[in-house]
Amino acid sequence: METLMSMSGSKWNFWKFAYDHGIDYKLYNIAPVETFEELENLIKEHINYAEDNFALFREEIVPRYEDSKNKYAFTWVNSKNDGSYLKYFRKCWEHQFFTFKFVNGIYCTPFILSQL
């Protein structure tokens, strides 16, 4: 399986963020990530499924949240549905079904799985 670096030409960082009681998002750059196994371990170790979300951003990007009413200001993977999205993410990773149209983040397109 190819790494994100070989697929995209960029290194990526794993970010965690949580909504701060209706005020704004708190952001944490956790670690670089290169393989799905690393991503899975980071999620298990750092993500509280009831409160946190996570995203992958290119190494040189420091995301800012400028409009707290627009949760889609980030390209993010929603982690709140007991792992089913993560299964899609892994399938997309294995089959390289990613889009990089959002230049700063990685976006998984699980609807493509129906074409397998």
Q: Is the pLDDT of residue 28 over 60?
A: yes
The mean pLDDT value of the chain amounts to 61
Q: What is the mean pLDDT of residues 80-105?
A: 52
**What percentage of the chain has pLDDT greater than the value 90?**
3
12 burial level (CB within 10 Å; 0-12, 13-18, 19+): buried
Q: What is the pLDDT of residue 26?
A: 73
Produce one character per residue of 62-91: b if its CB has 16 or more CB atoms within 10 Å, e if not: ebeeeeeeeeeebbbbebeeeeeebebbbe
pTM of the model: 0.59
> DSSP assignment, residue 109?
-
Q: Is the pLDDT of residue 84 over 70?
A: no
Q: What is the mean pLDDT of residues 56-62?
A: 72
Q: What is the mean pLDDT of residues 56-80?
A: 53
Place of tokens 């944490």: 28
Q: Which domain holds residue 51?
A: 4-115
Instruction: Count structural domains, the chain.
Output: 1
